[in-house]
Amino acid sequence: MNSSHNKSTISPSEAVDSIEDIAGTHPGYRRAHAKGIGFNAIFTPNNNAAPFTQAAFLTGAPSKAIVRFSHSSPIPTMSEQLVPIKGMAVQFQLQDNEVVSLVMANVPIFPTKTPEAFMRLIQAVGASGQSWKEKLKTLSQDTEFKTLPSLLKQLKTPASFATTTYWAIHAYILETASGDQQAVRFSFDSASKERALPFSTKNMEQELLERMSDSQVHFRLLMTLGAPDDPTDDPSLAWPKDRLVIDVGDLVLIEKRSDNAEKHLFNPTFETPGFNCSDDPVLLYRSNLYKVSYRRRTYESDSPRS
């Protein structure tokens, strides 16, 4: 089931057009996070989420999942070292062909509060004929980019997809069978203790495959409980660090997918009983944006395979 969508002055087609104008069109590739690698996985909930939700994937038996790790650039040939933001998308396979997806990045907050501000950010960064100093001046004059400086300071290219923490950024609303609701934010935390690895010149996809040949790669799904006054409509604001965080399950990578998960749509706005979208305008906007991107790359005849 899809949530309803907020009204934006920028249509999803116009947003994808803007990305293509800046980065070019790369047939068959996603319009963002173009380069990646896909896996089959198993998620096993531990029942810690049961007091807050009736969602089966968080409370029931183990479920199959599809996982895609990616680099954030819309240009598939961009150097990995130049793109410190990495992605992890997880699609939980539910009954009756339903799916729920958490789309995550290795940064805890989104750079903007609204879709319009994010498009201004993309256009400012991609402006041709301007120095970085000029671009930063443009960004500094926009009040919606107040969280951007602190976000930039945190950005470091990780050594491995497997040793990184990923945040879903947006708030979701969990609901019990009796109607009690709880705002939450999710993150996947690597079970690996290797957090101080230097960046390797090795291809990150190959590094992950080599790591899997030695031992299983696990992530813990963490759920942060929001207080009544924590914002659910602003992904650019972090919740206070003293909020309760609950470990709700284990995700283990099983095998690399032969299709690399390239034809899968990881839409973060799909809902299921007990798991609903919040009033975050960026989250709600992403539904149609993902559909436009998916439709364009699906119908492009020269579809690459990696």
Structural domains in the chain, sorted by start = 12-298 (2.40.180.10)
Give the C-alpha separation, 280 to 46, whole Å: 28
Closest CA to 257 of 17, 38, 22, 26: 38
pLDDT digits over 52-110, tens only? 999 999 998 999 999 999 887 666 667 777 778 899 999 999 988 899 999 999 988 88
pTM for the complete prediction?
Answer: 0.82
| Least trusted range by pLDDT, from 94-98, 126-130, 137-141, 229-233 | 126-130
Residue 305: per-residue pLDDT: 40
Task: Say what the pLDDT of residue 2 is.
Answer: 41
Q: Can you give the pLDDT at residue 290?
A: 73
Q: What pLDDT digit, counting tens, does each position of 1-50 carry?
A: 444 444 557 776 776 666 666 666 766 666 676 688 999 999 999 999 99
pLDDT value for 4: 40
Strand partners for 91: 66, 101
User: Which range has the worst mean pLDDT, 40-54, 120-134, 220-234, 244-258?
Assistant: 120-134
At 192 the pLDDT is 82
pLDDT confidence bin for 152, thresholds 50/70/90: low
The C-alpha atoms of residue 306 and residue 300 are separated, in whole angstroms, by 16
Half-sphere exposure of 16 (CA within 13 A, CB side): 21
pLDDT band per the 50, 70, 90 thresholds, residue 241: very high
pLDDT band at 301 (very low <50, low <70, confident <90, very high): very low
Cβ proximity of 267 and 287 under 8 Å? yes
Q: pLDDT tens-digit profile of 187-238?
A: 999 988 765 455 555 689 999 999 999 889 999 999 999 999 999 999 989 9
Q: Where are the alpha helices (DSSP H) in the chain?
A: 12-23, 56-59, 115-125, 132-140, 148-154, 204-214, 281-298
